[in-house]
Amino acid sequence: MAGVMQVSIFTDEINPDSPKRALELAKEWGVTHVEIRSLPNGRFPAVPDDELENFHSLVEGAGLRVSGVSPGFCKCAWDDRSVRHVLAEGLPRACEWARRWGTDLISCFAFDKSASGSVPSAVIDLVGEMSVISRRHGCRLVLENEAGCWGATGLEAAGIIRRVGCENLRLCWDPGNSCRAGSTCPYPEEYMRVRDLVSHVHMKGFDPVSGSWCLMDKGLVDWPGQIAALSADGYAGFLVVETHVHISPDAFVVVDKDLCGQEENTLHNLTFVRSCLDKATG
């Protein structure tokens, strides 16, 4: 049975300097949800309460909702001194504000990969502890695969999730990140082995030839096939546009002079995703 998927966009992938403009454009583009990563004074939730409150007012004023939050936790060594602060204060604060904003989804990473070999048991234990803390505070935790971290590809992240063995921990599947980590076929080969764990999807393009991010209709990821497979598998979560292309590539002409390169690129990706969804669900 086909799943009913919804599209969301990271606000700082529309405009990192002006949340107000980002939200206005999201509304203008017909988006119903946004995802939160960075605000002008720092990464969520490590900014003052009044900035978080003001941002939420802007979201509500635009008639939008929040699909999830990305605090960026654990993009560091597992034994970094900051980890204890994350567990004791950062993650509970992220959960508190996420729930205030109407979502229960928190994404995280699995620590910097400092050596080759198997995933250290300490990484498994800490990710498990984060899952328990999230559940205690009424939230779900999704582990995002990220190049340079343990769990760089979807398969590696899935291995960590299965070793943790907590129902509250699922996969934030990012095929673009998987490409950057060296995967040559995130879809269909990799996806088919992790699809039972996917609860959230981040979308971007990656060109392994140039080693750089690109628009979603370019690069290695077969997004039409991936979105069609998600629909066929009954996925009913969010597809979150995370463009990562701040300057228009030479081959891409900005058609709206009122939009900066990053805004235009995100609109381009959004339009592409919608066309893929139409084909997958039509």
Dump pLDDT digits (tens) for 218-261.
999 999 999 999 999 999 999 999 999 876 554 445 455 578 88
Q: Is the pLDDT confidence value at 190 over 60?
A: yes
Residue 1's pLDDT band (boundaries 50, 70, 90)? Answer: very low
How high is the pLDDT of residue 248? 56
Whole-number Cα distances in Å, 211 to 74, 153, 176:
24, 16, 11
pLDDT at 251: 47
pLDDT bin (cut points 50, 70, 90) of residue 2 is low
Q: What pTM value is reported for the model?
A: 0.95
Q: What is the mean pLDDT of the segment spanning 179-201?
A: 98
Beta strands of the chain (E only): which ranges?
6-10, 33-36, 38-39, 42-43, 65-69, 105-108, 140-144, 169-173, 198-203, 205-207, 212-214, 238-241
CATH 3.40.50.300 fits 6-281, yes or no: no
Q: How far apart are CA 214 and CA 247, in angstroms?
A: 10
pLDDT at 203 over 50: yes
| pLDDT in the model for residue 82 | 97
Average pLDDT of the chain to the nearest whole number: 95
Q: Provide the pLDDT for residue 246.
A: 73
* pLDDT confidence of residue 159: 99
206 pLDDT band, cuts 50/70/90, is very high
Tokens representing 65 are 């909702």
Taking each helix axis from N to C end, the angle separating 19-28 and 49-61, rounded to the nearest 10 degrees, works out to 20
The model's confidence at residue 217, banded by pLDDT at 50, 70 and 90, is: very high
Of all residues in the chain, the percent with pLDDT exceeding 70 is: 95
Adjacent-strand bridge partners of 214: 205
Q: Is 206:213 a contact under the CB 8 Å cutoff? A: yes
Q: Map tokens 């939420």 to a residue.
A: 56
Q: Per-residue pLDDT averaged across 11-30, rounded?
A: 97
pLDDT given for residue 198 in this prediction: 99
pLDDT value of position 24: 97
